[in-house]
């Protein structure tokens, strides 16, 4: 299927290799050619992604699946022959939370199976419950009194209906010349600004003048059994992350102290809401079974290396977060990044490269909880200029991250580090035929490279084609293996391997932000 693409790529590399390299920044054209051939002729990237998503599944930090994924990653790294392969604790703690069963149905006035997922770190129902549904749409403190004494044992619809309509705008996008030019000249993500999550009229409901946790405390005091909230998305997609209370603490006590809370597909939620709004009774059946495991609440990252030679004490790092939310199987967020980084290390090992600097792969946990795994790692290993740095801070070279879905790389975000522009321009020349050429002035602040930037270290995220990341997969239940694009991921793996190799071979230290 990919033979013609492979032939084209090999031919393009040969043609491009006749061009002069940037005088100030050497480019190892022969190595890049070998990297590209290995990336396309012997790719393992979809094999990695398939096992992570189909076999292991979603990987919430602390869950049984996450622990299995970490064991799998350790084993894969050892099979690749990486050095210093280890699971390293990073500081914070979180209880394990696993879904064992979800069953949600409307049984009166008509039967309907309801597409719904619990918010992470809420408890189960303690068995099947069959109760009446009630609208309790609290938008401000003034709304509390009308519901007092009316909610005992109720299944509460706690948000307004979610607007949804036939889709006249496509879900999947590749960058255009216009959107890439906007990155280069204005530092704006034009596609996200224009299309958001694909339904511009949709917004996650937030009450005014009263917090979500205060509303939940009211519901608990009134004896509510289950809380339902309308999800953004359409066509049965559900967007679900964590319970608001879990942002500060993810312990057994905080989980058991919350109310069972479900995100419900907009079309199903809206139907139930409309029936109730007609003054008709709705009876629902809900069964949520959750397992909580706090026997080892420690958070871990997974680490492996290709040792360097004459500059082995200096480190080039590549990485991605291994954790995911719990509704889909964590494919585009972020099995893609993990698989690309593993594949880049496999390529470099397969070619027998001997980099001057050590190349380290870092697979993070708890990115979805606020970059906690990477922040803990950076804090422990490097410190920061404000509170003091470690000797390793001075020896660190650069970090490259992937975490924006399945789309192919189109360039790199500078993160305000303009001194790196001629370096990236040179390194991207062997990939111009694959449309990897954009130097973005946009500072991406959504994922683990930020932990390095915060410590005064160079960390970068690549510009990626958006595909349907924001509209269908990012934290949605449709984040599955079926949404992955093999050729795009092969391109990304070859770019990461090349960038890591070139960074490891430089004579000079990589430029740091603000210097």
Distance CA 179, CA 223 (A): 51
Distance CA 320, CA 334 (A): 7
Q: Does residue 152 lie in a domain region? A: yes
Q: Are 88 and 137 within one domain? A: no
Distance CA 378, CA 375 (A): 5
Of 398, 358, 429, 355, nearest to 27 by C-alpha is 429
Distance CA 201, CA 217 (A): 29
Final residue belonging to a domain, choices 234, 258, 293? 293
In 94-161, DSSP assigns E strands to 96-108, 112-113, 116-118, 129-135, 155-157
DSSP 418: G
Q: Does residue 495 lie in a domain region? A: no
Q: Does residue 171 lie in a domain region? A: no
Distance CA 318, CA 341 (A): 7
Q: Over the chain (515 residues), what is each successive 10-residue block's mean pLDDT?
A: 39 43 80 98 98 98 96 98 97 89 98 98 96 95 95 97 85 89 88 74 85 95 98 93 86 93 98 98 98 92 98 98 97 98 98 98 96 96 95 97 97 95 97 97 91 96 92 94 98 98 96 82
Q: Are 157 and 266 within one domain? A: yes
Asked if 304 contacts 270 with a C-beta cutoff of 8 angstroms, the reply is no
Q: Are 249 and 328 within one domain? A: no
Asked if 373 contacts 367 with a C-beta cutoff of 8 angstroms, the reply is yes
Q: Are 310 and 280 within one domain? A: no
Domain count along the chain: 2
Q: Does residue 185 lie in a domain region? A: no
Element spanning 177, H or E? helix 177-186
What pLDDT, on a 0 to 100 scale, did the predictor assign at position 23? Answer: 53
Asked if 138 contacts 211 with a C-beta cutoff of 8 angstroms, the reply is no
Q: Are 106 and 83 within one domain? A: no
Q: Are 364 and 280 within one domain? A: no
What pLDDT, on a 0 to 100 scale, did the predictor assign at position 24? Answer: 82
Q: To the nearest whole percent, how much of the chain has pLDDT over 90? A: 81
Q: Does residue 492 lie in a domain region? A: no
Q: Are 215 and 355 within one domain? A: no
Q: Are 287 and 302 within one domain? A: no
Q: Does residue 428 lie in a domain region? A: yes
What pLDDT, on a 0 to 100 scale, did the predictor assign at position 493? Answer: 98
Final residue belonging to a domain, choices 243, 276, 293? 293
Q: Are 357 and 470 within one domain? A: yes
Instruction: Measure Cα distances from 266 to 139, 203, 290 in Å.
Output: 19, 12, 24
| Structural domain boundaries enclosing 375 | 3-93+298-478+501-505
Q: Are 302 and 266 within one domain? A: no
Q: Does residue 489 lie in a domain region? A: no
Please count the residues of the chain: 515
What CATH number is associated with residue 139?
Answer: 3.50.30.30
What pLDDT, on a 0 to 100 scale, did the predictor assign at position 198? Answer: 62
Sort 162 into a burial class: Cβ within 10 Å, 0-12 / 13-18 / 19+. Answer: buried
Q: Quote the tokens at residue 453.
A: 């930037």
Final residue belonging to a domain, choices 293, 318, 346? 293
What pLDDT, on a 0 to 100 scale, did the predictor assign at position 1? Answer: 35
What pLDDT, on a 0 to 100 scale, did the predictor assign at position 170? Answer: 80
- Residue 356 burial (CB count, 10 A): 18
Could you read off the pLDDT of 272-329 as tens digits, one per residue? Answer: 999 999 999 999 999 999 999 998 889 999 999 999 999 999 999 999 999 999 999 9
Strand partners, 285: 105, 130
Q: Are 380 and 330 within one domain? A: yes
Q: Does residue 431 lie in a domain region? A: yes
CA atoms within 13 A on the CB side of 124: 16
In 354-444, DSSP assigns E strands to 357-364, 383-384, 388-389, 396-401, 409-413, 438-440
Q: Are 471 and 427 within one domain? A: yes
What CATH number is associated with residue 463?
Answer: 3.40.630.10
């Amino acid at each position: 299927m990919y033979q013609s693409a492979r032939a084209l790529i090999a031919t393009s590399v040969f043609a491009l290799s006749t061009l002069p390299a940037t005088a100030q920044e050497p480019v190892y054209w022969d190595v890049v050619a070998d990297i590209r051939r290995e990336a396309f002729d012997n790719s393992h990237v979809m094999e990695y992604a398939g096992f992570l998503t189909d076999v292991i599944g979603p990987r919430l930090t602390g869950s049984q699946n996450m622990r299995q994924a970490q064991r799998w990653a350790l084993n894969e790294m050892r099979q690749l022959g990486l050095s210093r392969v280890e699971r390293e604790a990073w500081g914070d703690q979180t209880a394990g939370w696993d879904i064992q069963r979800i069953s949600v149905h409307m049984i009166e006035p008509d039967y309907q199976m309801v597409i719904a997922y619990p918010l992470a770190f809420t408890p189960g129902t303690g068995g099947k419950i069959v109760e009446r549904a009630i609208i309790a749409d609290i938008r401000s403190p003034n709304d509390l009194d009308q519901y007092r004494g009316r909610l005992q044992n109720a299944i509460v619809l706690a948000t307004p209906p979610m607007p949804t309509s036939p889709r006249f705008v496509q879900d999947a996008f590749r960058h255009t010349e216009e959107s890439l030019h906007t990155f280069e000249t204005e530092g704006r993500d034009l596609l996200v600004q224009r299309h958001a999550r694909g339904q511009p009229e949709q917004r996650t409901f937030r009450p005014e003048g009263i917090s979500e946790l205060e509303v939940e405390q009211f519901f608990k005091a009134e004896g509510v059994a289950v809380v339902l909230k309308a999800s953004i998305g359409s066509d049965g997609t559900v967007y679900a992350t964590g319970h608001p209370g879990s942002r500060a603490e993810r312990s057994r006590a905080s989980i058991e102290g919350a109310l069972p809370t479900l995100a419900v597909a907009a079309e199903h939620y809206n139907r139930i809401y409309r029936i109730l709004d007609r003054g008709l009774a709705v009876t629902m059946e809900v069964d949520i079974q959750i397992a909580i495991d706090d026997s080892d609440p420690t958070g871990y990252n997974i680490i492996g290396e290709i040792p360097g030679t004459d500059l082995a004490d200096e480190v080039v790092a590549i990485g991605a977060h291994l954790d995911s939310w719990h509704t889909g199987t964590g494919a585009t967020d972020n099995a893609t990044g993990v698989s690309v980084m593993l594949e880049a290390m496999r390529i470099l090992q397969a070619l027998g490269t001997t980099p001057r600097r050590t190349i380290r792969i870092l697979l993070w946990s708890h990115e979805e909880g606020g970059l906690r795994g990477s922040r803990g790692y950076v804090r422990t290993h490097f410190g920061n200029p404000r509170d003091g740095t470690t000797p390793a801070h001075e020896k660190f070279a650069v970090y490259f991250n992937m975490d924006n879905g399945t789309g192919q790389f189109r360039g790199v975000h500078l993160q305000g580090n303009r001194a790196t522009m001629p370096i990236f321009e040179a390194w991207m020349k062997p990939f111009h035929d694959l449309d990897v050429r954009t130097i973005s002035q946009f500072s991406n602040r959504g994922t683990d490279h930020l932990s390095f930037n915060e410590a005064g270290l160079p960390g970068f995220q690549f510009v990626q084609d958006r595909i349907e990341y924001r509209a269908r997969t990012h934290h949605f239940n449709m984040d599955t293996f079926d949404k992955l694009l093999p050729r795009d991921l092969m391109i990304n793996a070859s770019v990461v391997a090349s960038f890591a190799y070139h960074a490891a071979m430089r004579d000079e230290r990589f430029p740091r932000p603000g210097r």
